[in-house]
């Protein structure tokens, strides 16, 4: 992206660029050799949806899928990220299931599908099973054979892949400090963003409030101070959860809990006399194996169908594999396809305010601010404002109509120092040259 001067009109921001920025920016830990002895602060979470299950499900011994599809009608200024987090979905879950929608600029009264139905990974139902392909964790609590809990996760990005295999939780710590590995020091130094040797617990710590080291040296399951990276490949290999989810998981699991990490982009199971297929695109590391992985799932579908003398609609299987939207879909002849599934989804009422949704304070002429960019198009301005609001930590921003166009103004900021710090973050994250606006010198009227 070309640099942006304060009053220059800029071109639309490609989503692929934004995802690249997010992946580079929302990176997390790689090792945690030093813990803090601080106790966690009490956290009060907003109410969560109580009219549909999103995390905890009853489970019978032969059950291979849990949950239900749901939908919600959007309102102005909603984003898929906010909707997804509210209902326990990661960025990947909500965006691939709604591929026809712009994640950041939803129109009002738009139907958004909530893919809250999950095929369980093909793995022993013991402890934690993490499927990298759909960036989702499944936890089978000890001594609760009839229960499974599931959470979306952020995982290692390309070059820092989360490892496959069997390991376990080896420790638990609330309010951890992060000792920054030398490799990450070098990476940030090259970006002009040097880090201290140790980042103490608090809002600037990428581990969040809870961390659980794994038997794989240098890898953890932990929270995050950048929650909108959940459902993306964003970390240096660690497994990240929403702050509200890691708190629950942390209080449930024990040291010694087994952890199995798999990569299963294609999963199939019987449910209520119907055969279902859930498809995701393989992660980049396994992209060259896609044909073999699809061959394997076709073989499994044939085996499952033979168990009940059923016939598979193979043309439908091919459409689902091509679509790869993560929505479990029936594959028997004359079974429901995606439009019918969406029409039959549970209709949820809009909660008014989504959990964790950014609330932007009023901006007065006495506040320090930043003019991030000017656009001719309102949609482009709204998109950039939404992206800024969902950074980690959030950068408060709004679109303002002015002179026949639209400005994106960030703020309020307490003082010049804070405004300059945020301007530097925008420069690093979006490659946009912006400057802090002194309220004594510039009027926004």
- Which residues does the annotation mark as catalytic? 222, 238
Contact 184/195 with Cβ under 8 angstroms? Answer: yes
Q: Are 75 and 350 in contact (CB under 8 A)?
A: yes
Give the helix/strand (H/E) hosting 16: helix 15-25
Cα separation, 405 vs 401, in Å, equals 6
**Beta-strand runs (E) in 289-343:** 329-330
Which residues neighbour 62 within 8 Å (Cβ) at sequence distance 6 or greater?
none
The residue to which tokens 């794994």 are assigned = 214
Distance CA 88, CA 52 (A): 11
H-only helix segments in 78-167: 80-86, 91-96
Check: CB of residue 411 under 8 Å from CB of residue 342. no
Please state the separation of Cα 237 from the chain's center in Å. Answer: 15
Residue 115 backbone phi and psi in degrees, to 5: -80, 75
Contact assessment for residue 238 and residue 246, using Cβ atoms and an 8 Å cutoff:
no
Consecutive H or E run containing 268: strand 266-271
Tokens 């804070």 correspond to 418
Return the H-helix or E-strand segment holding 347: strand 346-348
Q: How far apart are CA 102 and CA 165, in angstroms?
A: 36
Classify residue 343 by burial, with Cβ atoms within 10 Å: 0-12, 13-18, 19+.
exposed
At residue 39's C-alpha, the angle toward residues 250 and 46, to 5°, is: 60
Phi, psi of 301 (to 5 degrees): -60, -40
Omega into 393 within 30° of 0, i.e. cis?
A: yes
Query: Distance between CA atoms of 330 and 276, rounded to whole angstroms?
Result: 4
Partner residues linked to 413 by β-bridges = 368
Residue 228 sits at φ, ψ, to 5 deg, of -85, 10
Nearest CA to 370 out of 396, 350, 344 is that of 396
């Amino acid at each position: 992206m070309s640099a942006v001067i304060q009053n220059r009109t800029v071109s639309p921001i490609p989503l692929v660029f934004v995802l690249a920025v997010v992946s580079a920016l929302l990176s997390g830990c790689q090792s945690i050799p030093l813990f803090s002895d601080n106790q966690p602060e009490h956290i009060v979470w907003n109410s969560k949806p109580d009219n549909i299950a999103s995390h905890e499900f009853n489970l019978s011994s032969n059950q291979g899928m849990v949950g239900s599809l749901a939908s919600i009608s959007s309102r102005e200024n909603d984003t898929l990220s906010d909707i997804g987090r509210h209902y326990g979905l990661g960025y990947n879950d909500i965006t691939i299931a709604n591929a026809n929608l712009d994640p950041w600029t939803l129109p009002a009264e738009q139907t958004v599908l909530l893919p809250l139905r999950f095929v369980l990974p093909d793995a022993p139902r013991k402890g934690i099973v993490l499927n990298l392909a759909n960036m989702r964790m499944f936890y089978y609590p000890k001594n609760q054979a009839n229960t499974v809990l599931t959470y979306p996760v952020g995982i290692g990005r390309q070059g820092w892949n989360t490892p496959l295999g069997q390991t376990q939780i080896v420790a638990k710590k609330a309010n951890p400090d992060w000792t920054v590995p030398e490799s990450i020091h070098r990476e940030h130094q090259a970006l002009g963003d040097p880090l201290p040797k140790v980042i103490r617990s608090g809002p600037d710590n990428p581990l969040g409030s809870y961390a659980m080291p794994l038997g794989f040296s240098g890898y953890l399951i932990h929270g995050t101070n950048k929650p909108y990276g959940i459902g993306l490949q964003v970390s240096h290999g660690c497994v990240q959860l929403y702050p509200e989810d890691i708190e629950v998981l942390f209080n449930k699991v024990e040291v010694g809990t087994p952890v199995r990490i798999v990569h299963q982009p294609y999963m199939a199971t019987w449910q209520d006399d119907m055969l279902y297929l859930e498809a995701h695109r393989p992660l980049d590391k396994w992209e060259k194996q896609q044909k073999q992985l699809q061959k394997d799932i076709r073989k499994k579908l044939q085996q499952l169908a033979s168990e009940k003398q059923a016939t598979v609609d193979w043309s439908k299987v091919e459409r689902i594999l091509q679509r790869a939207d993560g929505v479990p879909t029936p594959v028997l002849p004359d079974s429901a396809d995606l439009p019918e599934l969406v029409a039959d989804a549970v209709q949820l009422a809009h909660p008014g305010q989504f959990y964790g949704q950014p609330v932007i304070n009023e901006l007065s002429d006495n506040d320090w601010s930043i003019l991030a960019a000017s656009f001719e198009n309102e949609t482009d301005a709204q998109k950039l404002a939404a992206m800024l609001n969902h950074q980690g930590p959030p950068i408060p921003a709004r679109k303002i109509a002015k002179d026949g166009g639209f400005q994106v103004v960030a703020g309020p900021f307490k003082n010049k120092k804070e405004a300059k710090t945020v301007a530097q973050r925008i420069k690093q994250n979006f490659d946009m040259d912006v400057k802090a606006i002194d309220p004594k010198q510039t009027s926004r009227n």
